[in-house]
């Protein structure tokens, strides 16, 4: 391909030297009973910066996952997402780029790190495209959801807050819901990973009608609890659809969740795990929940203390639910 074609502004929109920065929040899918439909944004953001070059492909990766295993090629998930957006826009191949990423969202822990990378790539690509070629917000949702397989993480990453998502006739739809300001997420992130594909493989093909009915009722209650009745978070986060089946793959997380719930805290498995997310009502309860997590984790007799014969280290963070999702800024040299 010729240098002139690579720098064709009609094709790529942004000239050489343009930098697009995307700040993408973490997210939790399912939120207990809302399997593959509810998602909640978490204020813990990766920063991805892409700069249009005249030639080549460069990487500068820092933070979570940067030490190894992340490809420094066009197979990097951010670049794969960018290419998917370019394909959807009919824009051909990506221009030469420099990818800088500072990652703080834990990988393989059920906090939506892959969804955040996908959203960052698609939004960055959209910012590089010419105005006439850019994807609409609905098209952005479709591209992101197809890459992830479902919208329950990408929707809150895009929109912030709580989202309710569904699929109809092959298209994904997401409805944002405002979250009551007293709702505070507390995450306990263990130092072991659980692959999402493996966790999903533990689920049965069918469940009893009674189980489905219970979960439907709790998911509906959860939307009300998060939106305006945080005192109902404990019963609203009860789940029978996926967490009991996945417990065997993450025994420390299941134990921590159970013991927190016994103490009255609305604890659940974040996404496919193994992070434990506790949704609390106010800052004082957040401090009590964090203290309870430390106490349970330090109990050497508890299954929450070890995993496969090794002690488990838990990182505990008190976060917020962001009202807005991914943020995009564009600058030129």
pLDDT in tens, 150-194: 999 999 999 999 999 999 999 999 999 999 999 999 999 999 998
Provide the 10 A C-beta neighbour count for residue 201.
11
Provide the 10 A C-beta neighbour count for residue 177.
16
Look at residue 1 in the predicted model and tell me its pLDDT: 35
Strand pairing of 183-190 and 314-318?
antiparallel
Is residue 306 over pLDDT 90?
no
Q: Name the band, by pLDDT with cuts 50, 70 and 90, for residue 101.
A: very high
Look at residue 303 in the predicted model and tell me its pLDDT: 86
Is residue 6 over pLDDT 50?
no
Is residue 108 over pLDDT 80?
yes
Is residue 4 over pLDDT 50?
no
First-to-final CA distance of the chain = 25
Helix ranges restricted to H, the chain: 3-6, 9-12, 77-89, 113-128, 137-148, 154-159, 196-201, 209-227, 233-236, 243-246, 251-262, 283-297
**pLDDT averaged over every residue in the chain:** 94
- pLDDT, tens only, 22-53: 999 999 999 999 999 999 999 999 999 999 99
Look at residue 12 in the predicted model and tell me its pLDDT: 61
For residue 196, give Cα distances in angstroms to 27, 82, 331: 14, 23, 36
Stretch (H or E) spanning 40: strand 38-52
Q: Name the band, by pLDDT with cuts 50, 70 and 90, for residue 288.
A: very high
Is residue 217 over pLDDT 80?
yes
Look at residue 5 in the predicted model and tell me its pLDDT: 43
- Contact 53/62 with Cβ under 8 angstroms? no
Q: Which residue has the higher pLDDT, 148 or 4?
A: 148
**Facing residues of 68 across strands?**
none
Using alpha carbons only, what angle is made at residue 107 by residues 266 and 297, rounded to the nearest 5 degrees?
45
The proportion of the chain whose per-residue pLDDT surpasses 90, expressed as a percent, equals 86
- Contact 167/173 with Cβ under 8 angstroms? yes
Please give the radius of gyration of the chain, using alpha carbons only, rounded to the nearest integer: 21
Look at residue 322 in the predicted model and tell me its pLDDT: 98
Mean pLDDT across the stretch 49-74? 90
Look at residue 7 in the predicted model and tell me its pLDDT: 44
Look at residue 143 in the predicted model and tell me its pLDDT: 98
């Amino acid at each position: 391909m010729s240098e002139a074609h690579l720098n064709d502004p009609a094709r790529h929109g942004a000239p050489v030297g343009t930098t697009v920065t995307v700040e993408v929040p973490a997210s939790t899918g399912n939120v207990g009973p809302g399997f593959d439909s509810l998602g909640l944004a978490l204020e813990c953001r990766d920063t991805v910066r892409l700069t249009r070059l005249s030639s080549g492909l460069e990487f500068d990766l820092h933070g979570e996952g940067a030490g190894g295993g992340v490809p420094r090629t066009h197979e990097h998930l951010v670049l794969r997402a960018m290419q998917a957006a370019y394909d959807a826009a009919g824009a051909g191949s990506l221009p030469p780029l420099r990818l800088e990423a500072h990652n703080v969202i834990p990988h393989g822990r059920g906090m939506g790190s892959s969804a955040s990378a996908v959203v960052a790539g698609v939004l960055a690509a959209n910012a590089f495209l010419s105005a006439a070629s850019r994807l609409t917000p609905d098209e952005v949702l479709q591209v992101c959801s197809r890459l992830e397989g479902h919208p329950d993480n990408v929707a809150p990453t895009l929109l912030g807050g709580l989202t309710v998502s569904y699929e109809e006739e092959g298209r994904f739809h997401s409805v944002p819901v405002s979250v009551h300001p007293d709702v505070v997420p507390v995450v306990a992130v263990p130092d072991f990973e659980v692959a999402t594909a493996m966790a999903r493989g533990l689920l049965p093909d069918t469940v009893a009608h009674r189980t489905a009915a219970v979960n439907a009722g709790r998911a509906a209650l959860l939307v009300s609890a998060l939106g305006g009745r945080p005192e109902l978070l404990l019963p609203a986060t009860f789940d029978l659809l996926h967490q009991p089946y996945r417990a065997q793959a993450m025994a420390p997380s299941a134990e921590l969740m159970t013991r927190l719930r016994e103490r009255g805290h609305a604890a659940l498995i974040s996404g496919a795990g193994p992070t434990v997310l506790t949704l609390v009502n106010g800052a004082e309860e957040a401090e009590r929940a964090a203290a309870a997590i430390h106490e349970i984790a330090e109990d050497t007799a508890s299954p929450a203390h070890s995993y496969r014969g090794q002690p488990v280290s838990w990182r505990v963070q008190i976060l917020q639910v962001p009202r807005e999702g991914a943020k995009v800024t564009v600058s030129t040299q």
